[in-house]
Amino acid sequence: MTVIVDDAGSGDLLHGVVVGAYREETGEFKYDLIDVKFYQENFREKEYLKESSRIVAKLVEWFKLKPDESIHICQGCIFDVAAEDLKKIYGEDRVKRIRVIGETQRLVEIAYLDEIRNLGYEPLAEREEKRGKSFFHMMRWLKNNPEMLRYAKTGWPRLKNYNLFEQFHEERVFTVTCSDCGCECEVPFQPHADRAVYCRKCWPAHRPQKNHPKKTTD
């Protein structure tokens, strides 16, 4: 038997991402949602990859795999961490990356459409064939319903080119204490407790050195 894992909504502006698992032989299907918050303020940190892995592990566990049962997981980059984590648990031979088609893809897509319909949005019938048109259709809906921006993937860098999303891409600064001199300074990124942060004066001493190839003489 085989459990197949796929996603829907990764490239769509609205809502989070549906991750679903389907067992072909029994017709069992279960899904969960990567919350849209992972595609907003902290999108660049790619925490959605860890969340994807967590959800996939939970879904696979729900199926209570038999000793000889395989796991086929979509080739999409959203599952890169999940696939490696599954291999550590179930072994390299039981986990295979594939291009998902058929019933699994259909069920996961339906689950995503149900989720965005629950927001009050009616997707285009031809959204799969016309991704660009679907994107602008969703954006127009958000423009008419600005209170629903909290359900949009506002962290996408390309959205800064659209007036509707400017507020989510304003330059932000954070006040921190320099790890060298102890002075307060401002940095344009979210600091982490386990990483050193330096002010402009101290930073040059810690800047990574570029390795230049040595010149040779004949």
Q: What is the CATH number of the domain that holds 142?
A: 3.30.420.10
On whether residue 20 sits in a domain, the answer given is yes
Tell me the torsion sign for CA atoms 162, 111, 58, 5: negative
On whether residue 215 sits in a domain, the answer given is no
pLDDT per residue as tens digits for the range 168-177: 765 566 788 8
On whether residue 213 sits in a domain, the answer given is no
Instruction: Give the residues of the chain that fall short of pLDDT 50.
Output: 218
On whether residue 216 sits in a domain, the answer given is no
pLDDT score of 169? 60
* 185 and 84 fall within a common domain: no
* 161 and 192 fall within a common domain: no
Whole-number average pLDDT of the chain? 90
pLDDT score of 7? 98
The domain tally of the chain equals: 2
* 123 and 194 fall within a common domain: no
On whether residue 47 sits in a domain, the answer given is yes
pLDDT score of 58? 97
On whether residue 130 sits in a domain, the answer given is yes
* 41 and 122 fall within a common domain: yes
Beta bridge partners of 33: 18
On whether residue 69 sits in a domain, the answer given is yes
124-130-135 Cα angle (round to 5): 70
On whether residue 217 sits in a domain, the answer given is no
User: 9 lies in which domain range?
Assistant: 2-165
